[in-house]
Structure 1
Amino acid sequence: MWRDLWDEALAGVLARPGRTALTALGTVLGTATLVITTGLADTAGAQIVSRFDELAATTVTVVPTPEDGPQAKESPIPWDAPARLIRLNGVESAATMTTLRLPDVKITATTVVDPLAAKGTAAAVVAGSPELAAAVEGRVIGRFFDTGHNGRGDRVAVVGRNLANSLHLADLRQRPAIFVGSQSFTVIGVLVDARRSAGLLDAMILPEGTARKVFGLKAPESVVIDTAVGAAALIASQAPIALAPQKPELLTAERPAEPTTTKAKVAEDVRALFVLLGVISLVVGGVGIANTTLVSVLERIGEIGLRRSLGGTRFSVASLFILESSMIGLIGGILGSSAGILAVVLVGAVKQWTPVLNIWITPAAVLVGAVVGLLAGLYPSLRAAKIEPIAALRVQA
């Protein structure tokens, strides 16, 4: 019985190939959307994760451990901190960085003054080691100060892009000078980008040797470390020992928390949004299948009446139309999942991404297409099962 129904249903589907193709189109689009959105969400998520990890999860900052007492002691970070840390396996670059506090400046604390302007511009003054530009992944127009400037305590400075714009520093070839209180410094470069420390774009950066000579800086305030991917946790545990081997507890290594939960939530939200679009497409496809199957029932009333008069049961008639609609949904699921996989691969090739697709998505999409077809055929099949032989003869007459 079931084999006969299967053969008849297949013959019914293939009897009108054009109608079948148009009917299956909605299911094709729906399942293709599900596969594409799921695949692209996973693929794009993997790219986002890798880029996030490269920047955020590879930064370690070492600072003095907060003191319990009312007065903090001198920072235990040594001046040769970059040289000590670069020897650790997994450290790409390291630099010291200190925000200067200048209470003796008469204008305002840490105020940078443009001598051509009527008023000064407030900005942070930062002292750093020559490795600072590399440690924060900075990009400089002009040049960054080097070990020579640092060792001699030269009065040179690099200003952040935003500060340079507010001071109207355009041409470095004219060797512009800016003032911190009454102290003048020659600008040798403009920091136009700092991926790991965007605050430096608003600051004036001096060599730490100059800060020691001019402002009496006693010790570095912090160390910024750029690590290899996956080495942040190890470096965070080793850095205090390398910098203060006698009392590593005086230093605290800070690193970003693992963004596993956040990344999973973002991927989940993106996937949920696009899966909703796929479900809507599937609903539209299911309505199309139901409509076409119902039209087929009305067109084949005579055939249904003949089946019933020859002994066909209501169940067999209903099963025939359910099988036909399920076949259309199955065909749409196969074509849609294939198109979706192809689209994910093509997008990956164009964007130079590695395509990521869960192994279960293809059979799941095919199954979803078949289920949509089955559900869409329920009502038309019930209508067909209720047709009596005498009613069919009247219609044919």
Structure 2
Amino acid sequence: MSLVPVRLRPRDVVRVGASGLRARPARVALSALGIAIGIATMVSVIGISASSQEELLRRLDRLGTNLLRVQPAERIGGGPVRLPADARARTERIGAVASASATGRLDASIRRTDRIPEADTGGIEVLAADLGLLRTLDGRVRVGSWLNGGTARYPTVVLGSVAAQRLGITRTGVQVHVQDRWFTVTGVLEPLPLAPEIERAALIGVPAAQAHLGYDGHPTTVYERSSEGSVREVRDLLPRTLSPEDPSEVAVSRPSDALAARAAAAGTFTGLMLGLGAVALIVGGVGIANTMIISVLERRREIGLRRSLGATRGQIRVQFLTESLLVSALGGTAGLVLGTLATLSYALVQGWPPVVPLWALAAATAATLLMGGLAGLYPAVRASRLAPTVALSSA
């Protein structure tokens, strides 16, 4: 009569595997810590990156992706290229254009007082601006008011958010020195993510720029908005409309593309941090493997006793492989919780919508089980190869 070994049920396998962990809780916790750190790093990096991109997409939705910026292109043979003085009017002739406005760069510097050297500009440009600029850019005034038909004729200036910060100005009525005369600040703008050059600029009405700063009326930048569906058509028409003789002298860009590129660039940083998380995960796997090998050496008597009572090599392998998987699962669960909490906390502090992709959680779970299986494979095989007599005699 042949003896057939009893087949262990899944519940029995888990109970036998967990018994080894309960006997050494401190060692198990330290082994699981490496896995937890690796998984937490991976989940938090993916979650924070996803939250940042979601915030960027929401910001793009609010700002709109239908803004185009037109500037002179570089001439191949050198020499300056100028947009026509009626560039804004020409742009508005395109049927799909909803609004257009222009700014012109002035050869002038702005300083807080006349005692500051003219060369010390603080990176602030002085621009002549159309009255419709704020409407085209969908901008807002933080303090004071925007230029109007009256203030645009007098020495008044509206500051971009960055320009105001660099000049140390937080209220209106303050005077600043532009070129060789005083201008009164009548407004400070809110940030304009789609037009960062306006944030770093001092804006003066076209009539005042012509009267006091020698503005020749040729704009250096034209901003245009159209419907979302007609952006590509307008983009193709603008160079031929503004410069029929040589359309290549006109460069058209889409400011929202720069913001979208920032989201793509964030992927490089995410990849680096994921690499660090993977290293931590591997280190954690090595720690589990080391713990399991030591456990096999310490439990030779237990292995020999189980083998002498009829346990097969397969059952011994399953026991130690289950222990390794349980340690890895414990660390992986802790890592998932820590990584999710880190993502939620950071996103809430930054004012972003918290996002933890489900695929990231699934990938982290799969990585945890894979690492646990690989770490426990060699110790499990080693334990199963111990002969009962050798194991009992060396105990």
* TM-score normalised by the chain length of structure 1: 0.71
* Cα separation, 2, equivalents of 1:263 and 1:167: 32
> Could you tell me which of 230, 235, 242 is aligned with 2:231?
235
Structure 2: runs of 5+ lacking an equivalent: none
How far apart, in 2, do the equivalents of 1:281 and 1:227 lie? 55
Q: Which residue does 2:253 correspond to in 1?
A: 254
**2:44 counterpart residue number:** 40
- The letter of the residue matching 1:189 is G
In structure 1, the partner of 2:219 is 220
* Separation of aligned partners in 1, 2:53 and 2:192: 20
Q: Please state if 1:129 is matched with 2:130.
A: yes
Contact map agreement 1:99 1:125 (CA 8 A) in 2: yes
Partner of 1:357: 358
Measured in 1, the distance between the counterparts of 2:389 and 2:287 equals 31
Distance change >3 Å, CA 14–CA 116, structure 1 → 2: closer
Residues 192 and 373 of structure 1: is their aligned pair in 2 closer, same or farther, counting only changes over 3 Å? same
RMSD, aligned α-carbons: 4.4
What percent identity do the matched residue pairs reach?
Answer: 16
Distance 2:231 2:243 in 1: 17
Looking at structure 1, the residues matched to 35 and 146 of structure 2 have their Cα atoms a distance apart, in angstroms, of 55
Distance 1:180 1:191 in 2: 22
- How far off its partner does 1:99 sit? 1.4
1:62 aligns with 70
CA contact (8 A) 1:24 1:331 kept: no
Aligned partners of 1:137 and 1:195 also within 8 Å: no
Aligned 1:306-385 pairs, distance under 5 A: 306=308, 316-317=312-313, 319-343=314-338, 346=341, 351=348, 352-358=353-359, 359-382=362-385, 384-385=386-387
TM-superposed CA distance for 1:326, in Å, is 0.3
Q: Deviation per CA, 1:362-387: give whole Å up to 9, x if none.
A: 344323322322233344445x24x6
Number of the residue aligned with 1:107: none
Which deviates the most, 210-219 or 257-266? 257-266
CA distance in 2, matches of 1:137, 1:43: 31
Partner letter of residue 270 of structure 1?
M
Q: CA deviation at 1:176?
A: 2.4
2:17 corresponds to? 13
SS at match of 2:251: strand
SS at match of 1:79: helix
| Separation in 2, partners of 1:320, 1:30 | 28
1:141 paired residue number: 143
Q: TM-score, normalised by structure 2?
A: 0.71
Residues matched between the structures, number? 366
> Could you tell me how far 1:276 is from its partner in structure 2?
1.5
Structure 1 gaps, min length 5: 102-109
Q: 1:27–1:129: structure 2 CA closer, same or farther, 3 Å change rule?
A: farther
* CA contact 2:21–2:28 (8 Å) conserved in 1: no
Q: Looking at CA atoms only, which structure, 1 or 2, has the larger radius of gyration? A: 1
